[in-house]
Amino acid sequence: MAHTIEELVDMQRTADQAHATAQALRDQDDLPAFETAWQAWRDLAQDVQAAVREHAKEQDKMRAGVELEVKRKARHREPAEG
């Protein structure tokens, strides 16, 4: 399935949020919740990486460049115009 950069950015934001959730649970005394959150983040991160690889291949771009663009856009939101 082909993904646009915007879709990849949304996927990365979801993975980043899942990572933050897992990190927040890390120091709590609820190992099952942490492990579940950690696995969810890993699954999402793997999905992002697969989609980035596919997009890069389809666009004949370097994967690392696409990944960098996606992470930059996901983590540094542009201010809305208006």
Question: What pLDDT is recorded for position 79?
Answer: 58
3-state secondary structure of 3: coil
CA dist list (Å): 78 to 17, 18, 22, 72, 75: 18, 22, 26, 10, 10
For 79, phi and psi rounded to 5 degrees?
Answer: -65, 145
Domain ranges of the chain: 11-75
Is 0.85 surpassed by the pTM of this model? yes
Q: What's the pLDDT tens digit per position in 15-52?
A: 999 999 999 998 898 999 999 999 999 999 999 999 99
Q: What's the pLDDT tens digit per position in 48-79?
A: 999 999 999 999 999 999 999 999 999 987 65
By C-alpha distance, which of 45, 39, 36, 35 is closest to 15?
Answer: 45
